[in-house]
Structure 1
Amino acid sequence: MNNSTMNFTTPEASTNSTNHLFAIITILDIYIYSFNVFLGFPTHFYIILLIVQGTGNGVASDFFILNLSVSEIGICLNSLFSVFYYFTGVLYLRLLGFLLGLLVTGRPLFQCLICVERYLAVVHPVTFLKYKPLRYRVICCTPAWIICLGSCLCCMFTTEQFNYELYIYFYLIQFLLFFSIQLFCLVTVLRALKQSGPGERGRERKEENCMKRRAFRLILITTVTMTNIYMPLIISGFYFILTQQFIVNLFSVGLLCFILAGFVQPVLYLHRAGKLSCFCCF
């Protein structure tokens, strides 16, 4: 693929837009998809195994991370079927469209829940302790998975109807919503970090500030990661809406950012679980 953009303005191109969109997958994209398949599957299955066995902080404390890893496995499946299409020419359009819902909604939604959890632990510790048991997290994740399922169905239908503008608007609205929530949590925790509670002694203040810093760093990393993930894809989507041209190079950059950023939370969890001792203390 030598051209950096692909035009969809002709009637023939509009009719076969799905084939064109998948035809722009370059060899670099295949390497990226393959990297996600071969590294993503074992990593997330390993995290699920650690959480279920209680190696980390227990199932209740890491329940949102567990659900995030399950969602990431769906994203790895999307990469796997994209590789199949590249080598076999067999296009699993409905399945790829369905799995796009996890890409659009699954990852940012569960990352957002992790940030909200850290926000409650710092700003509203009484509420956090009240709803800390596993049953409340299950109740919280049930509507989250219902939303993910609705997003998967929506992405599947819009892909089948070639309505990519609706898909891009749907994608953009969710990004802005989740990003706003994470930004609110980030700013609120930062303000709490700068304030000290009344009547605190030196050691208690130090321990609480340490907890706040860790929560702030986690939310900051998640928010920055989410920005790096979606910004190139959003720019590419807006360009497509305005010009009906697809920027191949920008898509490849966005895909690379998306795949690599998906390993941020797993690395942080594995380090906290003591499986990555070579990393600096977080």
Structure 2
Amino acid sequence: MLRVERLGKSYGDRAALSEVTFDVRPGEMFGFVGANGAGKTTTMRIIMGVLAADAGRVTWRGAELTRTRRRAFGYMPEERGLYQKMKVAEQIEYFGRQYGLSAAASRRATGEWIERLGLTERRDDQVQALSLGNQQRTQLAVALVHDPEVLVLDEPFSGLDPIGVDALADVLAEKRDAGVPVVFSSHQLDLVERLSDAVGIIKAGRMVAAGTVDEVRAREGRRLLRVGLRDAAPGWAERLPGTVVGTPSRGHALVEPNGHDDQDILSAALKEGRLEHFGWELPTLSEIFREVVA
């Protein structure tokens, strides 16, 4: 697996990272989330050797990472690292050669990714003439051209339209299913929750939550009961034990038990109307993020 162990990084008196630890297993997609400046990009740069850590280490398949081993990784920085005056196809093919592909293999892979990522009509355009979304697609092709063993992508969905988001999501799912560990950061938390097998939340350089999506949702968020009734009188939710969260709608309400037994809440609900739904509801990743980061 890709293992990040107790990473530390400081700039003067400011600690950018402190004891950052997480694992990404083969065939797992890890969503890395946090506010701006929380340490996501610094962590990814250390994984890729762009920055040196002050403490801790990063290993892949149990071995320390070297420059040679990192050539098998696919990396997409948040700031696009493209040559603005090179044509799209030339650029992707050039980076394929830098990753160690032969000229023929790089040319073949370039053609495949240009078609896959919807760049066929832009293959002979200079990068500087592309829209932000097509520059993002080009950067993704650069990260994927050499069929990497590990993918490290910093805000890969930024600037993509919904079609581009779906295309990239399909590619990442395909890589994951082929056994590639995928680490990606994003501020689109609904997308992170939909795509990720595991997530990590970082705040001010420290990991505040990590695990599978279901584990984090169950462990970090408030436990709420969703109660759904038919033919209930107005104000029914307020008469239930506990505290109603938000405004009830369409006969449904979210209730925070506040020490009350769920069976007591169920009994009270049955007196108010015909029961349609009763069960625990886990918070979304967005709700958890607000709770642990705010």
Give the TM-score taking structure 2 as reference length: 0.23
Higher share of residues assigned helix: 1
Give the TM-score taking structure 1 as reference length: 0.24
Higher share of residues assigned strand: 2
- Structure of higher CA gyration radius: 2
The structure with higher relative contact order (CA 8 Å, sep 6+) is 1
